[in-house]
């Protein structure tokens, strides 16, 4: 196959026009082009009130490739297959254990299963079908299950999400491609293979994670739900196994720790076992909600309602006068602000959407960077205490999981809002008007005010009076790092592999999944199956 980039076509083009445009650019007949495969599609809306374009990178086949050999617009397609490494030399006599079935654990499990290592995945939460009932009960009635919620259960924190898969990490080894292809085989929409900013949506993610679980099991792996690791067995600095739910022991010399950023009790267990954990910077803030139509109009101009365009996204940032980074994060076009607590009597926000991204509001986290020097002490888990403090304050306002909300115009003026304007909150089980200035310290609220105003200059309407703030968004990434060496093993404990977001080595679904794949590969290269 050959590759050509930057095929730019007006938004209303037909499929056939891609072939025609390639032919025109290369000065050949479109009949010579036998096959066309879209590798990437992005949107060019820079002249949004004139025309919006789709821009394609395309692989294509022609009978006589030599004819185009010297054409500078064309190259041999760099597309490669993902290749599973061969097993190593060291004998592993126990099945590897993976703690956690989020993107990092799930993909580590899939790769190990494909290589014949029959992993055992232990997940504290429930299978997705059962988990969904618990999450809905929390959202409808405020009844929280601390083991089965938005953070814990099959698929991890990403299951009830927007399922954005874009990432800034590079993909030299085709691991991202592998992840995307596995998601598609498991039921995710095929377009994630080529759209510039792929997203699955919570409705399709539920199906995909369930099917990946089935595949792991069909390859000899096991996935055990409601199986919380409550202790790790360590002898002479090496892992030997785990204790599940306080009683059952499972032995293994290889344990992958894929616990996510909200397993605070497990962080504490690790700390008490002497496993090296350090403080790490992260960010906190609020969700900001606008009418989807406002964001779509700002981004797409007169095309805002065009049937070929989905809800518009944005990515904005600002450096505040006090030195803090302020940025939008985990933007959910046409989505919902969701209650995401995993501990009792604490309020936590996050965002999600369905594949269609067709809710009336669009939302995003708006975050301010925080450093270990902001935390209450030097204790490795002080970042968790820092988060809890704000989550408890938010809960205490109404003594319920209702989240504090405030119109941005009122937030600027330090006054409690009294009535919603155009934007109604999507957060459930409910909201309560409150002055968010009373929750966070000034270095956060000042940076938020300055940041949102600056962003309003870049995106029309972003800082309007009735933009709605909902708090508190405290779980943007892990407040700790579980230190590992160049072989991905814990620096304190042999055989323990901390991976993914909770360990501090990834942020988001894709980078967590890629970290899981990378670490699984290194285990495969080291060991051969010996049972
Ligand atoms: P997690 O997904 O957190 O998985 C960890 C798993 O380990 C959990 O299932 C947990 O139950 C389990 N576990 C923890 N402790 C134990 C124990 N002791 N024993 C057994 N099991 C245990 N990222 C994106 O890239 N795009 C998005 O659109 C997006 N939207 C999000 C929306 C929401 C509502 C949330 C909460 C997060 C969102 N994220 C998104 C972030 C993303 O979900 C995480 O970055 C990602 O899931 C991290 O993967 P992980 O495997 O490291 O950990």
pLDDT value for 108: 98
Show the domain range for 22. 2-76
Tell me which of 17, 45, 76 is where a domain ends: 76
Same domain, 464 and 496: no
412 shares a domain with 395 = yes
CA of 180 from ligand 1 middle (Å) equals: 18
- Residue whose CA lies nearest to ligand 1 atom number 53: 260
Q: Is residue 17 part of a domain?
A: yes
Does some domain include residue 81?
no
> Tell me, what's the pLDDT at 166?
87
Are both 97 and 65 inside the same structural domain?
no
List, in order, residues 6 or more apart from 523 with CB less than 8 Å away: 96, 112, 117, 254, 256, 497
Residues 303 and 446 in one domain: yes
- Sign of the Cα torsion 411, 412, 417, 423 reads negative
In order, the DSSP letters of 19-66 are HHHHHHHHTS-GGGEEEEEEEEEEEE-TTTTT--EEEEEEEEEES-GG
Hey, which of 157, 478, 507 would you mutate to test ligand 1's pocket, going by the most ligand atoms within 8 Å of its Cβ?
Answer: 157
> Of the candidates 378, 398, 175, which has an alpha carbon nearest to the alpha carbon of residue 277?
378
How many structural domains are present in the chain? 3
Closest approach atom of ligand 1 to CA 100: 7
- CATH number of the domain where residue 513 is located: 3.50.50.60
CA angle 303, 304, 306 (to 5 degrees): 65
274 and 285 share a domain? Answer: no
Q: Which atom of ligand 1 is nearest to the CA of 516?
A: 51
Tell me which residue has its CA closest to atom 12 in ligand 1: 100
Residue nearest to atom 3 of ligand 1 (CA): 260
Pocket test for ligand 1, best of 130, 135, 161 (most atoms within 8 A of CB): 161
* Cα 117 to Cα 388: distance, rounded to the nearest angstrom: 39
429 closest CA partner among 140, 137, 160, 134:
140
Nearest atom in ligand 1 to the alpha carbon of residue 228 is 19
At residue 168, the pLDDT reads 85
Q: How many Å apart are CA 379 and CA 475, to the nearest integer?
A: 19
Cα of 140 from ligand 1 centre, angstroms: 22
Q: What is the enclosing helix (H) or strand (E) of 4?
A: strand 2-10
Strand pairing category for 255-257 and 238-244 = unpaired
Is residue 85 assigned to a domain?
no
> 84 lies in a domain?
no
Check whether residue 497 and residue 354 sit in a common domain. no
Q: Are residues 34 and 135 part of one domain?
A: no
Give the whole-angstrom CA distance, residue 473 versus residue 489: 31
User: In which residue are the tokens 């010399």 written?
Assistant: 253
Q: What's the confidence (pLDDT) of residue 46?
A: 95
Same domain, 449 and 492: no
- Residue 42 shares a structural domain with residue 170: no
Task: Report CA(271)–ligand 1 centroid distance (Å).
Answer: 20
Nearest residue CA, atom 25 of ligand 1?
A: 508
Q: Give the C-alpha separation, 98 to 123, whole Å.
A: 9
Per-residue pLDDT of the chain (531 residues; tens, 9 = 90+): 999 999 999 999 999 999 999 999 999 999 999 999 999 999 999 999 999 999 999 999 999 999 998 999 999 998 888 999 999 999 999 999 999 999 999 999 999 999 999 999 999 999 999 999 999 999 999 999 999 999 999 999 989 988 999 888 888 899 999 999 999 999 999 999 999 999 999 999 999 999 999 999 999 999 999 999 999 999 999 999 999 999 999 999 999 999 999 999 999 999 999 999 999 999 999 999 999 999 999 999 999 999 999 999 999 999 999 999 999 999 999 999 999 999 999 999 999 999 999 999 999 999 999 999 999 999 999 999 999 999 999 999 999 999 999 999 999 999 999 999 999 999 999 999 999 999 999 999 999 999 999 999 999 999 999 999 999 999 999 999 999 999 999 999 999 999 999 999 999 999 999 999 999 999 999 999 999
Pocket, ligand 1, Cβ cutoff 6 A? 99-105, 122-125, 150-153, 156-158, 160-164, 228-229, 258-260, 263, 266, 330, 338, 340, 350-352, 500-502, 506-510, 512
* Residue nearest to ligand 1 atom 23, measured at CA: 508
Q: Give 514 Cα–ligand 1 centroid separation in angstroms.
A: 14
How far is ligand 1, taken at its centre, from the CA of residue 36, in Å?
Answer: 37
Residues composing the chain: 531
Q: Is residue 83 part of a domain?
A: no
Determine the angle formed by the axes of helices 175-185 and 202-218, rounding to 10 degrees.
100
CATH code, domain carrying 60: 3.30.70.2700
Rounded CA gap, 88 and 432, in Å?
58
Name which residue sits closest to atom 14 of ligand 1, judged by CA.
259
Q: What is the CA angle 389-338-475, rounded to 5?
A: 40
Token digits for 59? Answer: 């692989």
- Give nearest CA residue, ligand 1 atom 32: 161
Q: Which of 52, 76, 100 is the last residue of a domain?
A: 76
- Rounded CA separation 165/195 (Å): 10
- Has residue 25 been placed in a domain? yes
Residue 425 in any domain: the answer is: yes
CA–centroid distance, 109 to ligand 1, in Å, is: 15
Of the three residues 76, 109, 129, the one that is the final residue of a domain is 76
Counting from 1 in the atom list of ligand 1, the atom nearest the Cα of 515 is 52
Work out which ligand 1 atom sits closest to the CA atom of 509: 25
How far apart CA 286 and CA 337 sit, in angstroms, is 10
Same domain, 502 and 465: no
Q: Mutation test of ligand 1: which of 102, 131, 384 has the most ligand atoms closer than 8 Å to its C-beta?
A: 102
- Structural domain contains residue 106: yes
Ligand 1 centre from 501 Cα, in Å?
7
Nearest alpha-carbon partner for 388 in 341, 427, 434, 352 = 341
What's the confidence (pLDDT) of residue 69? 85
Residues 205, 57 within the same domain: no
Question: Is residue 195 helix, strand or coil?
Answer: strand
| Closest residue CA from atom 18 of ligand 1 | 229
State whether 144 and 219 are in the same domain.
Answer: yes
């Amino acid at each position: 196959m050959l590759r050509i980039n930057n095929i730019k076509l007006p938004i209303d083009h037909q499929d056939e026009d891609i072939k025609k445009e390639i032919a025109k650019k290369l000065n050949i007949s479109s009949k010579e082009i036998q096959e066309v495969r879209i590798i990437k599609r992005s949107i060019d809306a820079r002249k949004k009130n004139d025309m919006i374009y789709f821009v394609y990178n395309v692989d294509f086949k022609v009978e006589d490739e030599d004819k185009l050999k010297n054409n500078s617009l064309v190259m041999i397609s760099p597309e490669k297959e993902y290749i599973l490494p061969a097993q190593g030399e060291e004998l592993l006599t126990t099945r590897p254990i993976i703690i956690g079935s989020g993107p990092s654990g799930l993909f580590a499990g899939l790769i190990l299963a494909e290589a014949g290592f029959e992993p055992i995945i232990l997940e504290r939460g429930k299978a997705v079908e059962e988990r969904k009932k618990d999450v809905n009960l929390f959202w409808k009635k405020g009844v929280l299950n601390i083991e089965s919620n938005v953070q814990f259960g099959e698929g991890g924190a990403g299951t009830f999400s927007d399922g954005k898969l874009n990432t800034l990490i590079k993909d030299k080894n085709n691991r991202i491609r592998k992840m995307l292809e596995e998601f598609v085989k498991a039921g995710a929409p095929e377009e994630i293979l080529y759209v510039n900013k792929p997203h699955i949506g919570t409705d399709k993610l539920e199906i995909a994670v369930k099917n990946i679980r089935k595949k792991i099991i069909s390859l000899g792996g096991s996935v055990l739900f409601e199986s919380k690791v409550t202790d790790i067995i360590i002898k002479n600095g090496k892992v030997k196994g785990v204790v599940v739910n306080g009683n059952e022991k499972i032995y293994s010399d290889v344990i992958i720790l894929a616990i996510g950023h909200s397993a605070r009790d497990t962080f504490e267990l690790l700390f008490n076992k002497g496993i090296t954990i350090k403080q790490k910077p992260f960010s906190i803030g609020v969700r900001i909600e606008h009418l989807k139509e406002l964001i779509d109009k700002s981004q797409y101009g007169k095309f805002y309602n065009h049937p070929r365009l989905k809800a518009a996204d944005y990515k904005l940032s600002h450096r505040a006068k006090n030195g803090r980074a302020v940025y939008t994060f985990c933007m959910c076009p046409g989505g919902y602000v969701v209650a995401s607590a995993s501990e009792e009597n604490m309020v936590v926000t996050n965002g999600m959407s369905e594949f269609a991204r067709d809710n009336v509001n669009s939302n995003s986290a708006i975050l301010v960077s925080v450093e270990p020097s902001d935390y209450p002490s030097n204790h490795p888990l002080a970042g968790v205490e820092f988060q809890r403090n704000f989550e408890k304050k938010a809960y205490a306002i109404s003594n319920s999981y209702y989240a504090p909300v405030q119109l941005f115009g009122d937030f600027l003026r330090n006054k409690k809002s009294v009535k919603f304007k155009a934007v109604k909150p999507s957060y459930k089980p409910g909201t309560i008007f409150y002055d968010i200035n009373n929750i966070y310290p000034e270095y956060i609220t000042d940076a938020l005010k300055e940041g949102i105003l600056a962003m309003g200059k870049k995106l029309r309407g972003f800082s309007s009076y009735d933009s709605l703030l909902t708090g508190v968004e405290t779980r943007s990434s892990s407040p700790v790092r579980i230190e590992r060496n160049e072989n991905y093993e814990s620096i304190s404990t042999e055989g323990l592999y901390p991976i993914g977001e909770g360990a501090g080595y990834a942020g988001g679904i894709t980078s967590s999944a890629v970290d899981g794949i990378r670490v699984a590969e290194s285990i495969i290269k080291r060991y051969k199956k010996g049972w």
